[in-house]
Amino acid sequence: MYGTYLRRELAGRKKQTIIVAAGLGLAIALVIIVTALSGGVREAQAQALESVYGVGTDLTVTGAQAGPGEGGGPAFEFEEGAGQSADGTTTLSQSRLMTDRSRGTLDAAALDTVGSVEGVAAASGALSLTNTTFSGEMPDRSQMTAPGEGGAPPAGGANGAGGSAFDLDSFTVLGIAPGQDAVGPLSAVELTEGRVLAASDAGADVAVIDATYATTNELSVGDTMDVGGTEVEIVGVVASTSDEADTAANVYIPLDVAQSLAGVGEVLSTVYVQAESSGAIATVQAAIAEELPDVTVSSQSELASSVSGSLASASSLITSLGTWLSVVVLAVAVLLAVLFTTSGVSRRTREFGTLKAIGWSNGRVVGQVAGESVVQGLIGGAVGLAVGLAGVLAINLISPTISSAPEVVAGPGAGAGAGGRPGGMGGFGGAETTQAATDIVLQAPVTIGVIAAAVGLAIAGGLIAGAFGGWRAARLSPAEALRSVG
């Protein structure tokens, strides 16, 4: 009987049912879409940070930022007569391997200090370098035509045939400890060809290169390439474990070889740290900062806050505007359901008075009103779930692309990005350059938890509306109710 009466009452109040269900459905759909987008942005941020941190890396330790005016671009020095050819044309070519001029280096002993801190499960060091190659030709100036009458420039001048032509080519190099790839950038890559650097490669002129860089430059295992003026053999090719994120560098070489070719001594650019547990990260960070007061200790969350571009904008928009909009719309929808339910109870005064007069208890009356509201909430939940999932599906089909780019830093001439993407040319004097942005396809994942939360919100909205309506109905006196409409 309860079900029959419930179905009849809902059918007789279709307008109220549609309005309440539509309001709750809109709110729940918005909650689903915002929650899915928020999860997608978090995954995108993880992809953007993965190539920098690596899987399982909790903290990074780096040198202090260089002050204004410090650093500078690469300096190329050529001995007199270098590259002189038989016809008098001078061919020049030189490669330089340099550290990041915008940030100081760490003494290699810092790795041992970090490793001895309580709560550190593992630590590895790396030296980040940029290899810049300058090459070009200068014509035989003695064969140029003397200036003509009227001060005309000689033939083969700066803009004529026989003028000088120079190129700058750059790629990133990462010196790592061979055989130690459980923590740091190499923990986020997979081997596609050859082998990784082994402990026995220490001191050897060997390299592992990024797959994208290898394809762009037509390199493969067994080939050689110039790194810092030394020919190194390519023994392996690696690719990022993520389809959207690049690897940390174009070329990986043994740490001691990198230090030797760069002429910097036993120094590091970064120490990658893995804590024993997630709960120990803050404590470990503070302990390292105390042990090494002149370094910068960063966590993943701090690095994420420095990521710029549309990725950060999307995260900010969803976190602030999206979340608050969902809360406001949900609150309005529940308030609308409460108002319609209490208003409906007021219009049904005679009905409830009659039901009480024939023996219905207050509990049964409240149960009737609450049941109607819960059913309206469930209908709204079903509508909201369908609309929300359709919205998420549309986002995934469109697959919007967002970008993440590290903050602008000053450094030597910028070359290829970490995945072989071309960068700008900083020139001889150095320039303020921005690392290449990583384009990431945004996907909005939907989990069972999100669906369960949507159903829960629908039931909660119906229960709240039913509670107010039932409370209003329970206060009615049968005699007064019948008398008021008599």
Over residues 17-34, the pLDDT tens digits come to 788 888 888 888 888 888
Per-residue pLDDT at 422 exceeds 50: no
- Residues with Cβ within 8 Å of 197's Cβ and at least 6 positions away in sequence, in order, are 176, 178, 179, 181, 206, 208, 235, 236, 252, 253, 254
Higher pLDDT, 285 or 65: 285
Three-state DSSP class for residue 90: strand
Question: Cα–Cα–Cα angle for 272, 274, 280, nearest 5°?
Answer: 130
% of the chain surpassing 90 pLDDT? 20
Residue pLDDT, tens place only, 427-440 = 333 333 334 455 66
- Taking residues 344-353, report their average pLDDT: 72
pLDDT number for residue 314: 60
pLDDT number for residue 63: 82
- Taking residues 121-139, report their average pLDDT: 83
Per-residue pLDDT at 320 exceeds 80: no
Residue pLDDT, tens place only, 170-225 = 899 999 999 887 787 788 788 999 999 999 999 999 999 999 999 999 999 999 99
Please, where are the H alpha helices in 13-82?
A: 14-53
The helix (run of H) or strand (run of E) holding residue 425 is none
pLDDT number for residue 50: 55
pLDDT number for residue 204: 94
Residue pLDDT, tens place only, 362-415 = 777 778 777 878 888 888 888 888 988 898 888 888 877 665 554 433 333 333
DSSP secondary structure of 165-208: EEEEEEEEEEEE-TT--SSSGGGGEEEEEE-PPPGGGTTS-EEE
pLDDT number for residue 337: 78
Residue pLDDT, tens place only, 92-115 = 667 788 887 667 789 999 999 999
- Strand runs labelled E in 389-430: 401-404, 409-411
Backbone angles phi, psi at 398, to 5 degrees: -70, -35
Three-state DSSP class for residue 387: helix
Query: Does the reported pTM lie above 0.85?
Result: no
pLDDT number for residue 182: 78
> Environment class of residue 157 by beta-carbon count within 10 Å: exposed (0-12), middle (13-18) or buried (19+)?
middle
Residue pLDDT, tens place only, 138-171 = 665 555 454 544 444 444 444 444 555 667 788 9
Residue type at position 214: A
pLDDT number for residue 27: 82
- Average of per-residue pLDDT values in the chain: 74
pLDDT number for residue 330: 76
pLDDT number for residue 266: 92
Per-residue pLDDT at 304 exceeds 80: no
Tokens at 394, concatenated: 């549309």
Q: Are 344 and 368 in contact (CB under 8 A)?
A: no
Per-residue pLDDT at 347 exceeds 80: no
Residue closest to 174 by CA, chosen among 250, 271, 86:
250
C-alpha distances in angstroms, 159 versus 154, 155, 165? 10, 9, 10
